[in-house]
Amino acid sequence: SALHLREAIDRAEHVLAIEALCAAQGLDFRAPMRPGNGVARAHAIVRSRVPHLDADRSPAPDIGAVRELVHSGALLANGATQVAHA
């Protein structure tokens, strides 16, 4: 049971990392429009580890870098801080 849970968590972190990368890329294309403060902060956190995708490259290193952010709670902590100050 515990091993299945660990696998499910690993997969969820992987999916969340991909979602965060796609969201960051999408936000880059919406400039000069600005997102809300929480989304802007999450975008900055992702971009602090992964540059904008402007040429074809393997996404594996980017996914790994953002997955570390998800696993560490850095993106979640950002959201909780923004909600607490709203």
Q: What is the DSSP letter of 55?
A: S
Amino acid at position 37, single letter: N
The answer to whether residues 79 and 38 touch, using CB atoms and an 8 Å cutoff, is yes
Q: If pLDDT is split at 50, 70 and 90, which confidence band does 85 have? A: low
Q: What confidence tens digit (pLDDT) does each residue in 10-55 have?
A: 999 999 999 999 999 999 999 899 999 989 999 999 999 999 999 9
Q: If pLDDT is split at 50, 70 and 90, which confidence band does 71 have? A: very high
Instruction: Residue 19: give the domain boundaries.
Output: 2-84
Q: How far apart are the C-alpha atoms of 41 and 76, rounded to whole Å?
A: 11
Global pTM? 0.85
Total domains, the chain: 1
